[in-house]
Amino acid sequence: MDVILFVVFAAIAVVCAINVVVQTHPISSALSLVGVMGALAMLYLLLGAEFIAMAQLIVYAGAIMVLFVFVIMLLNAGAESRRGRSITAQIFGIPGFFSLLVVLSFAVLKLFPEAPVVRFGGFTGGGARDVGRALFTRYLLPFEVTSLLILIAILGAIVLARKEVD
């Protein structure tokens, strides 16, 4: 059952991810990305990380991508035109991508030969309690630094967006 679900949602994720690149219209690409996020959330659920799955849906699919779609609609961006692609990119693009994939997977296998095999539902530290405890004890410093970074980004956005006051 788990394997079937994994194959289904992994396939959805991959197809949507390819669709993000293939589609010419920005709205179609953005919505394909939402599909990727949703499929990823399902994969997290299969692994037993409920909180992360829901956070993925709320933050990425629900908040960030909505803003993307909102901005695309506001700017009324049209479909991109397919022009000016070099001969090298057309010939070597897809084979180059697959060879990069091969090299990467080979490197991962070489570097971590002892890595444990992933089992569905074998991970139990995915509840809200466990994630909260990890964030506020072991990863407290990175967590706080990230929040500071976000605060700076917000301030920067406000400064950039503010109208000049004489």
Partner 1 sequence: MEYFVISIIKSAVVAIALLTTLAYLQWVERKVIAHIQIRMGPSRVGPHGLLQPVADIVKLLTKEDLVPPHVNKFFYLLAPFLAITTSLISISVIPFGTEVEVAGYRTWMQLTDLNVGLLLVLAISSLGVYGIALAGWASNNKYALLGALRSSAQMISYELPLSLALAAPLLLANTLSLREIVEAQGGYSLGFIPRWAIFQAPVPQILSFLVFLAAGFAETNRVPFDLPEAENELVAGFHTEYSSLKFASFFMAEYCNMITVAAMTTTVFLGGWQPPFPERLGSNLIAPMLFFGAGVLCFYHASNPARRKDRYTLPVFGVVFFGLSLLFLLVPPLMPLFWFAAKTGGLLFVFIWVRGTLPRFRYDQLMRFAWKILFPVAVVNLMVTGLVVALL
Q: Minimal distance in Å, beta carbon 81 to partner 1?
A: 18
**How many residues make contact with partner 1 (CB under 8 A)?**
21
Window 46 to 85, contacts with partner 1 (CB under 8 A): 50-51, 53-55, 57-58, 61-63, 66-67, 69-70, 73-74
Longest dimension (CA), the chain: 66
Q: Per CB under 8 A, does 4 bind partner 1? A: no
Q: Per CB under 8 A, does 39 bind partner 1? A: no
Exposure of 55 by Cβ count < 10 A (0-12 exposed, 13-18 middle, 19+ buried)? middle
Q: Which two structure tokens, joined as six digits, stand for 131?
A: 């994630």
- The residue with tokens 């920005």 is 26
Do residues 36 and 20 make contact, with C-beta atoms less than 8 angstroms apart?
Answer: yes
**Interacting residues toward partner 1 by CB under 8 A:** 27, 31, 34, 50-51, 53-55, 57-58, 61-63, 66-67, 69-70, 73-74, 127-128
